[in-house]
Chains A and B, each alone.
Chain A
Amino acid sequence: MLDMQHIIKVYRTDLVETHALRDFSVTVAEGEFVAVTGPSGSGKTTFLNIAGLLETPDGGRYQLDGDDVGTLGDDARAGIRNQRIGFIFQGFNLIPDLDVFDNVDVPLRYRGFVTRDRRARIERSLELVGLAARMRHLPSQLSGGQQQRVAIARAIAGDPRFLLADEPTGNLDSLMARQIMDLLAEINRQGTTIVLVTHDPELARRAHRNIHVMDGQVTDLKPYAARGAAPDAAVA
């Protein structure tokens, strides 16, 4: 379970203070598929970054599976990212020097799996995204949709409990976008909690629940008629 209460995030530059998140509270239950929508600059990526322990909040409380993680040290946060969280970035963010196999391998390396285990996981996750045949391709030799699928494979290879995706379909055409959504839905069905940031209401509708962010706050909750688990989300 992911639980944020009264989270504050302020960016300070020389000239201005931006309150990216103000009193931001949200809870995501085990196995949920949540879509986050909102206008540009409203704080969606900031929320995801804090949820994924890439950034620390300036205030409020953040619990992951009941543990307070908002104040953990850098190494501890790296460990949680590595073991419990899978990330799909707004850009594809593949490492250009590494081929598909090695890109998926990156988080597994830091996890300390043995070689055989790593190989099995990489093959399984690439199979899932339909790229088993392209293991030795470099990112530059792949199409945008394929690159994004590699990023998904990389995010799920370590069997994370949470999958955080920041506009994974932003750069793709609508057909490709639907395929990616199908994939995410499939992953969610297998038990992974998914938080998806998207601009596309069409895609957002496929989630169990929709969180709308405006000016750094959750403004609205529109549960869509869910196919699966009953949502019991709380709004501050």
Chain B
Amino acid sequence: MLGYYLRLAWLSLKRTPAITLLMIGAIALGIGATTTTLTVYHRMSTNPIAQRNDVLRAVTLDNWSADRPWDTDHPDNAPAELTYRDALAIAQGAPASRLVVMRKTSLTAEPGAGRPPFLVVVRLATHDFFPMFDVPFAYGAGWDGKADRDGEPVAVLSKETNGKLFGGENSVGKIVRLDGREYRVIGVLADWQPTPKFYDLNNGEYDTPEDLFLPFALGATLELQPAGNVNCWKPETLAGLRDLFGSECIWHQLWAELRTPAEVERFQSYIDGYVAEQKKLGRFPRRINNRLYTVDEWLARHEVVGRDSRVLLVVSFAFLAVCVLNVVGLLLSRFLGAAGATAIRRALGASRGEIFRQHLVEVGLVGALAGIGGLALGAVGLTALQQLYSSYDRLTQLDLSMTLAAIALAVLAGLLAGLYPAWRICRVQPAGYLKTQ
């Protein structure tokens, strides 16, 4: 019977090609717009390390001012970053499977051979950074705990930096000059673009990861300037970087890998105990409010998805709704316009179900064609958006899951648009229509 229904649907669509194109076009436009915004939205909000979501925890301690919360809009949130001394103390004493303390700096790389020096953004991190965040290596590997303790001058390069400095070849063992000092390359990353950059959302959440990675200890021994945010609340006289290390200013990120609920609990009670100790020393003027966040929770807390994308998402769904209403109207008029033929079928013995299915096949055909058109339009929309996003082009690539979502959306929209008209038409009473003829 499906073949028969398909033939009837085709005949019916062929009869009024303009209206058919209009219907397909309307749904396709709606789907195209929705797919485009959905892709950007999905890219923005997607968890780039979902596979480790449950074991990774961002660590926050509330060491902000007694007078006002860190975030007046969300007074329960502790600051997103830590002071140097707290980050270091917890990194050394806390019970965790793995733990990374880190911050950002920038240095000048000298490629030599007459080429001009250029700026590299550097992540100073302890060695667990690489295994904790599943960082892929093209050559070599990260450093170990000994390099962290001794502050060895070793470096891991991003793929791009390795390209700029060494033409992309295996540079493990080579020397890179940064701010007049020499570092030995021990690893080169493969392509790694976690979007958003979940491990440090304080600035540039859609930026690419840093250009170069150095052992955390070097930041203190070489007195490397901070390149990320530095936030301070306490009246303190700061004469240079030395004072910043001892200050209450926050500028470090801390992540722990906790594999079991018991581990999470142990870690939580450790940091709570730590803060309680510090309170005795006159620090941490606020109530104890130390929180651990999974990556999902962390992204949500930082409201990574921009307001604009959310507005656009709503607008494109409204657009889709208008398109669906439009198509419902057109289908209804078309089905009811051919009610005479349906009445004859009913009189000749077609059951309601058969009429319903016949029209649903027609709707499905429209939906399928619209879905294909919608995907094409979505691809066009994303290409156009690429111009508007430029540096964030990773946000605008149609991926498999979005393609599937678009198809699902097309089918859903088609069904939504078609169910009511199909239902209406299968209620047609044969007698009424035949008599009027």
Chain A residues in contact with chain B, CB under 8 A?
45, 49, 52, 54-55, 74-75, 78-83, 85, 87, 89-91, 93-98, 106-107, 109-111, 154
Contact = CB atoms under 8 A, between A and B. Distances in A.
A109 B8 CA distance: 12
A95 B1 CA distance: 18
B16 to A, nearest CB: 11
A78 B435 contact: no
Contacts, number: 76
A89 B434 contact: yes
Contacts of B349: 78-83, 85, 107, 110-111
A110 B434 CA distance: 19
A110 B435 CA distance: 23
Given A91-B437, A93-B434, A97-B341, A110 B352 contact: no
B351 A90 contact: no
A78 B351 contact: yes
A158 B340 CA distance: 22
A45 B352 contact: no
Given A78-B349, A82-B348, A154-B348, 20 more contacts: A45-B435, A78-B346, A78-B350, A78-B354, A79-B349, A89-B344, A89-B347, A89-B434, A90-B435, A90-B437, A93-B340, A93-B344, A93-B434, A95-B344, A97-B11, A97-B12, A98-B11, A106-B345, A107-B349, A111-B349
A181 B300 CA distance: 81
Contacts of A98: 11
B347 A74 contact: no
A85 B341 CA distance: 18
A55 B437 contact: no
A7 B239 CA distance: 106
A87 B1 CA distance: 23
Given A97-B15, A109-B4, A74 B437 contact: no
Contacts of A55: 429, 431
A132 to B, nearest CB: 21
A-B CB proximity, top 5 nearest: A82-B349, A91-B437, A107-B348, A54-B431, A78-B351
B131 interface: no
A166 B346 CA distance: 17
Nearest to B338: A97
B353 interface: yes
Contacts of A110: 345, 348-351, 354
B153 interface: no
Contacts of A107: 348-349
Contacts of B4: 109
B111 interface: no
Contacts of A96: 341
A103 to B, nearest CB: 9
A94 B349 CA distance: 15
A96 B344 CA distance: 11
18 contacts: A54-B434, A75-B352, A75-B353, A78-B354, A82-B350, A83-B349, A89-B347, A89-B437, A90-B434, A90-B435, A93-B340, A106-B345, A106-B348, A107-B348, A110-B350, A110-B354, A111-B349, A154-B348
Contact of B430 (A54, A75, A106, A109): A54
A221 B429 CA distance: 32
Interface in B355-389: none
Interface string B1-14: 10010000001100
Contacts of A95: 341, 344-345
A5 B11 CA distance: 44
B350 to A, nearest CB: 5
B6 to A, nearest CB: 13
A78 B352 CA distance: 8
Contacts of A75: 351-353
Nearest to B353: A75
B419 to A, nearest CB: 19
A83 B349 CA distance: 8
A55 B350 CA distance: 15
Interface in B405-437: 429-431, 434-435, 437
A49 B436 CA distance: 13
Contacts of A111: 349
Contacts of B341: 95-97
A107 to B, nearest CB: 4
A44 to B, nearest CB: 11
Contacts of B15: 97
Contacts of A52: 347
B11 A81 contact: no
B202 to A, nearest CB: 66
B328 to A, nearest CB: 23
Contacts of A49: 431, 434-435
A98 B4 CA distance: 12
B111 to A, nearest CB: 74
A98 B348 CA distance: 15
Given A74-B351, A74-B352, A83-B349, A109 B1 contact: yes
Contacts of A87: 347-348
Contacts of B354: 78, 110
Contacts of A82: 348-350
Contacts of B12: 97
Interface string B260-287: 0000000000000000000000000000
A200 to B, nearest CB: 19
